[in-house]
Amino acid sequence: MKFDNVALLLPDRTVGFGTLETSGSRISKIELATPPSPSPSTSCSRLILPGLVNCHGHTAMTLLRGTGGGLPLQRWLEEAIFPIEARMTPDDIRAGVRWGALEMLAGGTTQVIDMYDFPDAGEAAFESVGLKASVSRVGLSFVPGRLADCIAFTRAHPKAHVCVHSEYLTDEPFCRALADANNRELKRPVHVHVSETEKEHRACLARHGQTPVAYLAATGLFDCGGFAAHGVWCTDDDFRILKEKGVVLVHNPSSNMKLGSGFARIPRALELGVTVALGTDGCASNDNLDLFEEMHLASLIHKGLAKDPTVLSPWDVIEMATFGNRLAVGAAADFCVVDLGRLHLRPALDLPNLVVHSMHASDVVQTVVDGRLLYDHGTFPTVDLEQTREAFDARVRHCHGI
Ligand SMILES: [Zn+2]
């Protein structure tokens, strides 16, 4: 594929203008106009940015979009979410994941780190759509046989990560045994919810005399790196542990606000050298899978809280959202194309600022994953949208008993 006369967000935090070509699954050529083209507002109608990476998702929760609105986290889980999840089958997961994967592709997301039940069905559904995904068997100590299941699943699925849901749903022997197996044999990143609410953070301190991050680190679960979602109540020492262990802090601003959990101290985490990424969380607590919205919120929240407009530059936020994806020759051809002709995107004079503060997921017109055009101006060339919609609607009726 060849994209002419496009603006490009480059890895050295500059904006280039020129041509990008792909060959197979890789970016094969980037040719920049020299001297640089005039202002993109007059010469460029499209922007290519690296594919967005959703580093904390529960994609099949598209089936539960909007469920339990207005409830705080524990009541939301126990009264609204868990009863429906108890009815779910692999058919539900397949339909919910396919629907969510399409929503993400249409919004420029090319990859997700997912945490949900029936990961076999989930992984197959992601593969059927083409969105890159790492799934996991969720570690929960109250499910009989789950520890052996987690180890066996991870062993059999090379792209899977290891996962414990959280300190509060996974007891210490489980965490230690999974960590031992992982550090000895599997060597995968871990995915876990940490310090999402003040109540959770304090309960862990009362149970273990340690914060969730310190406790999980002590079990060995962070020894192969990973993704710690939320971290709203993390201390400076927690951030130091995450940095030392190479664990990414995943910021989920929409979910944290909708559930009234608070604001993660992202500028402080960055100051202490923690790698920060963005996630949507499940779309029952968001209620969409739009990473442009997460970028916008992350930028505004932390400027407002710090009373300082220099906190979190647009490039800082873009790097959080694109998490390692880059427009460079030889890199995976994972990117999206945005139509700069939209009313709210003119003039396009400062593109990084425009991406973070003006753009919506719906401005994406094409999404490419591993060199395959998976979303193209409202259509999905490799997916039967009508059939996917019918399957999704049927499984929504099943889950909600309607
Ligand atoms: Zn979550």
pLDDT, tens digit (0-9, with 9 covering 90-100), for 280-308: 999 888 999 999 999 999 999 999 999 99
CA of 135 relative to ligand 1 center, distance in Å: 13
Confidence band for 38, pLDDT divided at 50, 70 and 90: low
pLDDT for position 15:
92
Strands 276-278 and 247-251: parallel
pLDDT tens digits along 104-116: 999 999 999 999 9
CA of 202 relative to ligand 1 center, distance in Å: 19
pLDDT for position 35:
66
Pair of tokens at residue 350? 């400062």
pLDDT tens digits along 127-165: 999 999 999 999 999 999 999 999 999 999 999 999 999
Q: How high does pLDDT run on average in the chain?
A: 96
CA of 1 relative to ligand 1 center, distance in Å: 36
pLDDT for position 44:
84
CA of 282 relative to ligand 1 center, distance in Å: 6
CA of 70 relative to ligand 1 center, distance in Å: 17
CA of 271 relative to ligand 1 center, distance in Å: 25
CA of 77 relative to ligand 1 center, distance in Å: 11
Confidence band for 103, pLDDT divided at 50, 70 and 90: very high
- Mean pLDDT across 337-348: 94
Residues 6+ apart with CB under 8 A from 272: 236, 239, 240, 243
- Mean pLDDT across 330-347: 96
CA of 109 relative to ligand 1 center, distance in Å: 18
pLDDT tens digits along 182-240: 999 999 999 999 999 999 999 999 999 999 999 999 999 999 999 999 999 999 999 99
CA of 165 relative to ligand 1 center, distance in Å: 8
CA of 387 relative to ligand 1 center, distance in Å: 29
pLDDT tens digits along 173-184: 999 999 999 999
Map out the domains of the chain with their CATH numbers: 2-50+325-376 (2.30.40.10), 52-321 (3.20.20.140)
pLDDT for position 76:
85
Write down the pTM of the prediction: 0.97
CA of 230 relative to ligand 1 center, distance in Å: 8
CA of 163 relative to ligand 1 center, distance in Å: 12
CA of 386 relative to ligand 1 center, distance in Å: 29
- Mean pLDDT across 18-23: 97
CA of 384 relative to ligand 1 center, distance in Å: 29
CA of 57 relative to ligand 1 center, distance in Å: 6
pLDDT tens digits along 306-328: 999 999 999 999 999 999 999 99
CA atoms within 13 A on the CB side of 278: 27
pLDDT for position 71:
85
pLDDT for position 77:
86
74 pLDDT higher than 90: no
pLDDT for position 292:
98
CA of 78 relative to ligand 1 center, distance in Å: 14
